[in-house]
Chain A
Amino acid sequence: GENVEQHPSTLSVQEGDSAVIKCTYSDSASNYFPWYKQELGKRPQLIIDIRSNVGEKKDQRIAVTLNKTAKHFSLHITETQPEDSAVYFCAASYSNQFYFGTGTSLTVIP
């Protein structure tokens, strides 16, 4: 089955700096890569996703890049704000099967 690794497990940045979270996957059948943000006690919320026919996608301060050859994808958050503090999960998916990374706890220091 698919194996998704996520790094780093914790990340602290100063407000206004950028944050990058990286994930790798093992199964070349995976063709959909969503990212979720989970605040304490809340549900994981989809913040951005990318499909295998696209190399990069951007939505305001958030961007995701995908390298199919290397089987890795990354989340980039620019101009970080305190409200970006949360746990972020990557996932790799195919045929309605989702495999999650272990999460990155991001802290944005004011």
Chain B
Amino acid sequence: EAGVVQSPRYKIIEKKQPVAFWCNPISGHNTLYWYLQNLGQGPELLIRYENEEAVDDSQLPKDRFSAERLKGVDSTLKIQPAELGDSAVYLCASSSNTGELFFGEGSRLTVL
């Protein structure tokens, strides 16, 4: 069974440019998460989806960040415009009905 798939793995952009990350969760997992992870720190939730509904986006900086999960499967996280402080790893995760959480490999963003 394939795990959580993310792309791209690495992205380097200049500040003020847009960037988008894509995530395909484990098949059958209804709950999808986007986390931000800074170096040496734990994952911090940006947004959580139950199927196609965003049920927790309180930590998402909505002035520049947006996310969508059309059809309740794949998800896209967008940043526009990117700032220097957005440099981090963006982790996608999905959870099963038993509550176990599985992470993708992450998308490492560098903003110059």
Contact with A along B81-111 (1 / 0, CB 8 A): 0000000000100010001111111100000
Q: Which chain B residues border A36 with CB–CB below 8 Å?
A: 103
Instruction: Collect the chain A residues with CB atoms within 8 Å of residue B103's CB.
Output: 36, 43-45
User: Which B residues are in CB contact (< 8 Å) with A100?
Assistant: 42-44
Residue ID in chain B nearest A49 by CB atoms: B100
Q: In the complex the two chains form, what is the Cα distance from A36 to B41 in whole Å?
A: 13
Are the C-beta atoms of B105 and A102 separated by less than 8 Å? no
Q: What sequence of 0s and 1s flags, for each residue 32-51 of chain A, a beta carbon within 8 Å of any chain B beta carbon?
A: 10101000001111100100
A93 and B103 alpha carbons, distance in the complex (Å): 15
Number of interface residues of B (CB under 8 A): 21
Cβ-neighbour of A102 out of B41, B45, B100, B104 (below 8 A): B41
List residues of chain A with CB within 8 A of the CB of B101.
Answer: 34, 46, 91, 93, 98
Out of A93, A97, A103, which one reaches B42, CB within 8 Å?
A103
A45 to B50, CA, bound (A): 22
Contact A44/B43 with A34-B101, A98-B101 known, Cβ cut-off 8 Å:
yes
Which A residues contact B (CB, under 8 angstroms)? 6, 32, 34, 36, 42-46, 49, 87, 89, 91, 93, 96-98, 100-103, 105
Closest 10 CB pairs of A and B: A100-B42, A43-B103, A43-B105, A44-B103, A96-B31, A32-B99, A89-B42, A102-B42, A103-B42, A100-B43
